[in-house]
Every structure is written in C-alpha cells, then in structure tokens.
Amino acid sequence: MAGSVGVGRATPRSSPKRYAGTDPPLSLAGPTVADLQRTAELEKFLVEAGLYEGEEESAKREEVLSEIGQIVKEWVKQLTSKKGYAEQLVERANAVLFTFGSYRLGVHGPGADIDTLCVGPSYVNREEDFFVTLHGILAGKEEVTELQPVPDAHVPVLKFKFHGISIDLLYASLSLSVIPADFDISQGSVLSDVDEATVRSLNGCRVADQILRLVPNAENFRTTLRCLKYWAKRRGVYSNITGFLGGVNWALLVARVCQLYPNAVPSMLVSRFFRVFTQWQWPNPVMLCAIENDDLGFSIWDPRKNPRDRSHLMPIITPAYPCMNSSYNVSTSTLRVIMEQFQFGNKICQEIDLNKANWSALFEPFHFFEAYRKFLVVDIVAEDDDDLLLWKGWVESRLRQLTLKIERDTKGILQCHPYPCEYSDPAIECAHCAFYMGLSRKEGLQKRGQQFDIRGTVDEFMREIAMYSLWKPGMDLAVTHVRREQVPSYVFEQGYKKPCPMMHANQLEQSDGDGTLSPDLEGRLKRKCDFDGDGHEELCRPVKRASVSQPDEETLPHHGSSVSKVLCDSMVNLVSNGLCSGAQTTSLHDDVNFKQTPLTSSPHGSEDTSASGTMGAVVLADESSKLGNLTSDVEVDTVQAVAVHTPLECVAQKDEMKLEGIRSVASSNCAEFLERAVLAKNVHLSGDEVI
C-alpha cells in the first residue's frame, strides 16, 4: 500500500529543502502581521512615488521592441545578400533581440531606458556592420533621435531614443551562420569562439536570467529591488560609472539578501538588507552561487590567481560564467560614502521597525551640498546638444579616474565624493553641464600644514580626457575649486540655498575640515587686453576655455573684492561670470602657506602660446585651527576656483588687490565665446602663493 513502511526497514527521512546560495539561509522565519502591514505601506509608498509605469507606456515599450527587432532582422538580411551569400541563406538570415537589466528583471519605472542585445550570425561584425551600417539605418529614421555610438566603451553600445524611449543596444556576433528564433542564450555553447567584448555583451542577459533563477521569490525580490534602487538614487549612490553601484550591483545585493531570508516579505528584506551590509566585511565577495570555471578559457574573478582582483574593494560577483566582479569601479572614497549611507538606512529601518518612523524617512534625499564645504566642479561645454551628448559621455566615463588619481596622489588623505547628478544653468542657452565632487579629509588624520599639490593630478586627468578620438572644436572642459557659498542656486532642488546648521566638532571632521584645496586654487583668469579711449576694456587675445558654473550673486562671500555686474546680455557672459565671481580673497587661516609654481600646458596644444594657468595645493590644517573658526568659516572666503583648461590654457598671476575690470563680450553663441574671450581680473595675495 502506498505510503506504508515495510517491516524491518528504516523509516525514510524527508530530505531538507535546498536553498540557492553559497551558504544556508540565516533565517527561515516568515512575516508577522506587523511585517505584512509594513509591506503594504511600503508598496503603497512606491506606487505613490510613481515608480510603476502605466499600461499605456508598457504597451508602447513592447511596440518599440517589436519595431527594433524587425529593423535588426532586415539589417541582417540586407547584409547577407550584400555579402554574396546564397539566396537560401538570405531567406534564413536572422537576428534575435534580447532584453536585460531593469526591464528584464521587471523593476523598470516610467521613463527608464531599455537595455537590449542583438544577437547576429558570425559574418555580421560589430565594427563595420553594427556601428556603421546599422547606425546609418537608424540615423535615417524619423523615430530615432539622440543617436550616440560608443564603440570604445568597455561594453560597446549604440545609444538612442526610439519614439522617445531610451534604448541601449549591444551586439553579439556568435559562431553560427543562422540564429534560431527560439535561441537560448543561457547555454554555455554561446561563448564558443567569441571575443571578450562579445562575452561582456552577452553577460548582461545571462546574468539577469540567472538572478531570477536563484532568488526564492521573484515578486518579493522585485519589490525589494525597486525600493532599494529608488533609495540609492535618493541618497546619491546609484551610478556605476562614477564609482558607486549600478543596477546589476543592486540586483545582486538584493538577491543575496533574498537567499539569506527566503521567507521574508519586502519590508523585512529591506530592513535585513541594511542589517547585513552594514556588517559585511569587505572585501569578502557577495556571491549568489559558487564560481563556475568552464574550459572555455575566459578569465574569471579569482584573487588567488589574478593580482588585479586582489585590489577590488567591494566585490559583487556575477552568477553566470565567466563570473566577474560587477563593482570593480568602487574606490576607497565611494566605498566610504556607500557604507555611510548603509548606516543611515539601517538606522531608519530600526526606527521603522519600532514604529518611530515611516517609510518616507528612509527616502529623504541626501543633501550633498550641505554635507561638504568645498567642491571640485567639472564644467563641460560643447557647440550644440548633439556634441554635448558625446563629450559629456566621454568625460563622465573618466570622472572615476580623477577620484582614483586624487586618492593616489594624496595617499588617501583627501577623499572625493563624486555626485552622480549633472547640473546646467537654465539661464545659459549654450550646450553645457557640470558635475560636482565633494572634498573631505580622511577621518582621524590631523597633520598641521600638510600640503598636496594636485595640479599635476588634474593635468594628468586632462591629458586623458584629451585622448577622445571624436573631439570637435567647441568641446571644452574646466576643473575648478569652489566653496559651498559659491555654489550656484540652481543646483538646489528648490532653487535656493538652505541655511547650513552649525556643525558639531566631530561632524566637522567627518565633513572635510580644511582638508581641501588651498585658498589660491581659485580660478584667476587674466589675459592681455587693450583699452579704448574711454577706458573700456576691449577684446583682444582669444582664450578658449571657460567654466560654466556660475555662483549665485546673492550668496557671494562678504569679504574681499566684489565683482562688478556683467554688462553684456549675452548668455556667454553668464558663463564667464562663473569664473570671475569666485575671485574674492582674504586670509583663511594662519597655517595656510603659499608658494608659486606654473601649470603645465594642455595636451591639445594651442596657437596662443602666451597663455598659462594655475593649480593650487591641498592644505590640511590641524583641528585647533578648524575649531577656532567654526562660526567665521562661512563668512571668510578666498579665491576659490582654478580652471584647468583644454586645449588652450589661461593666465593666472598675482597683482593688485582689485579687479581691473570686466569686459563686455559680444557673442551670440557659446562656441564663439570659447574661442574669443574670458573675464580678466587681477588678484592680490599676501605672502608666497601656492598655485
């Protein structure tokens, strides 16, 4: 009889349920009534926050994917015929479109882009067929806008909008003459006889599928991931390109927590997420499964064999072969910021569990411009919006290197917090944007008068930027140093600056103290000019580079020379005023030492060889000098910006303590301005200068 047990035979024991993951779950506990209520409140909050798209937009996405799929199929057929293959092969020629990223995982929101992968046959290559022929086809379609090829990226991609929906399109050429319509991308054989770029292109789809297989409850995973991605964006730690964590990183971290608490609901998973990762001992890796080592010969993440892997600070390993560290971009500075935000999330979740806070407290935005007193600003200017899209993408992809170089050259004492948001002045019509990096001294380090000259660091960064193969005239860049009170008002969410509360001593040390650039790192631009008979300054020698960041006139420091109002209505004067308005100067602290050094020339070179520039040193004051100026520090200002310019340098030198004047710039567009003029001024600094 079924289910009966025979005499003399041991009673069979039911085998325990197997769970995915490298380790068994930490808890199998299910939700309480309070957990279910908090989950309902969380889901309601996410809906009200607008994180779910409507049915109409979902249908539009499906239509767009269908149209793009048809375009790539026709593209492959045309190439098959053009390359002289038999008519039978032309009939069977095919390309298959896959999705990955947030869309594949089911956590995309309104306006999100769609990550797509086109898989084609072996005779259709990436270099010519994809980035030239398909690019030309897409460029000729009215529904395609903002078409941007990025062939030199770590994962080569075509970026564009199709009917207003952002698309990132990758391409993988497999060792097959025909791609079946029901092709299974998860099988290991797809990696046979392909190059590294193709492996990376395929990995996105393979990783997304593996994640969904390895989580115990896909719906709970999706809700939790949607919540944590929104939280990361609000707290300024969502950006792989600038050294934080991107979509796949957050997905892998959330998936690991789902494995550790397989029966938990989203409210529990969010709380456990912060509890786990505030205690995680980095660089111990986060893995959803054991690392697979196939015989295909591709390199996998293995710090025992690969010296480079040993330097990774926050390894989050992808589950599909070849297993890679998806978070290799994380630096010492960005890891510090991420961990600080994890601590914040853990604190708020503890309060939510005790009914002392609600979910809105968790998603309070991080007030970046209130957290630091000094910043590096990377201003980007181009001839038009299309050029800006290309130029900005290149510069943004290299910002992480600037952070790493500053960490390297200051031995980790000066820490950078690159903020993953771009800003543009609505009052300026030319194509421009700016990125900000908060500067702080490493906590606990106190060394009076220690200086770091990052002039060479920024110059090295500029040389790398200048290697851009698609550079065009009008593509310009400036790196400047500004204080909080010089930050323009338009970067703030409500368009105005909030009053900064008094910092406690230990908060001040955690902020930045004086561990930033010295006072004379400021942007002091001058050029030789002639004056007309009435004493007005006239245009003469062209200077190409200018900063776009424009400090708010109402919040300029109270000390030092004032800057006259620009007398030209041109938007270009607003651009140049951003450099000039930082030129107030007084003594900062007694321990600030000055000396003078020249700035190296731009890698692009220049016809105007009379120009030169300046860069200052990082001065670290001791704690006593900081605490003695807690109340006056906001009021006392120095010359705060240095512009490191390419391809033409600017002039900076000491002179009388006054502004010689401001010239009127009669220019109708930004590109013309950048070839013609910047504001001229003379600045006096007592003592020796550090430039």
Give the residue among 296, 294, 289, 315 at the shortest CA–CA distance from 304.
Answer: 315
Structure tokens at 520: 């004379």
Q: Work out the burial of residue 419: count CB atoms within 10 Å of its CB; fewer than 13 is exposed, 13-18 middle, 19 or more buried.
A: buried
The secondary structure of residue 131, as a DSSP letter, is: I
The secondary structure of residue 503, as a DSSP letter, is: P
CB contact set of 276 (below 8 Å; sequence gap of 6+)? 256, 257, 260
Give the residue among 319, 303, 320 at the shortest CA–CA distance from 311.
Answer: 303
The verdict on whether omega for the bond into residue 426 sits within 30 degrees of 0, i.e. cis, is no
Q: How many CB atoms lie within 10 A of CB 450?
A: 20
CB contact set of 303 (below 8 Å; sequence gap of 6+)? 309, 310, 312
Q: How far is CA 646 from CA 265, 489, 571, in A?
A: 53, 27, 21
Do the Cβ atoms of 137 and 82 come closer than 8 Å? no
Residue 549 annotated as catalytic = no
Q: How many CB atoms lie within 10 A of CB 312?
A: 20
Which of 35, 73, 115, 581 is an active site residue? 115
Residue 40 corresponds to which amino acid?
A
Residue 238 annotated as catalytic = yes
Find residue 301's DSSP bridge partners: none
Can you tell me the distance from the alpha carbon of 101 to that of 407, in angstroms, rounded to the nearest whole number?
31
Residue 534 annotated as catalytic = no
Which of 102, 173, 547, 576 is an active site residue? 102
Structure tokens at 480: 């400047």
Which of 171, 238, 436, 468 is an active site residue? 238
Residue 115 annotated as catalytic = yes
Give the residue among 95, 277, 289, 61 at the shortest CA–CA distance from 179.
Answer: 95
Residue 113 annotated as catalytic = yes
Do the Cβ atoms of 252 and 318 come closer than 8 Å? yes
Structure tokens at 627: 């605490």
Which of 129, 168, 552, 637 is an active site residue? 168
Give strand ranges (E) for 384-509. Answer: 414-418, 431-441, 450-453, 476-483
Q: How many CB atoms lie within 10 A of CB 642?
A: 34
Do the Cβ atoms of 100 and 320 come closer than 8 Å? no
Do the Cβ atoms of 665 and 678 come closer than 8 Å? no
Do the Cβ atoms of 478 and 547 come closer than 8 Å? yes
Give the residue among 652, 659, 657 at the shortest CA–CA distance from 686.
Answer: 657
Which of 229, 442, 497, 654 is an active site residue? 229
N residues, the chain:
691
SS3 assignment, position 682? strand
Pairing mode of beta strands 114-120, 96-100: antiparallel
- Residue indicated by tokens 């005790």: 354
Q: Just list the catalytic residues.
A: 102, 113, 115, 168, 229, 238
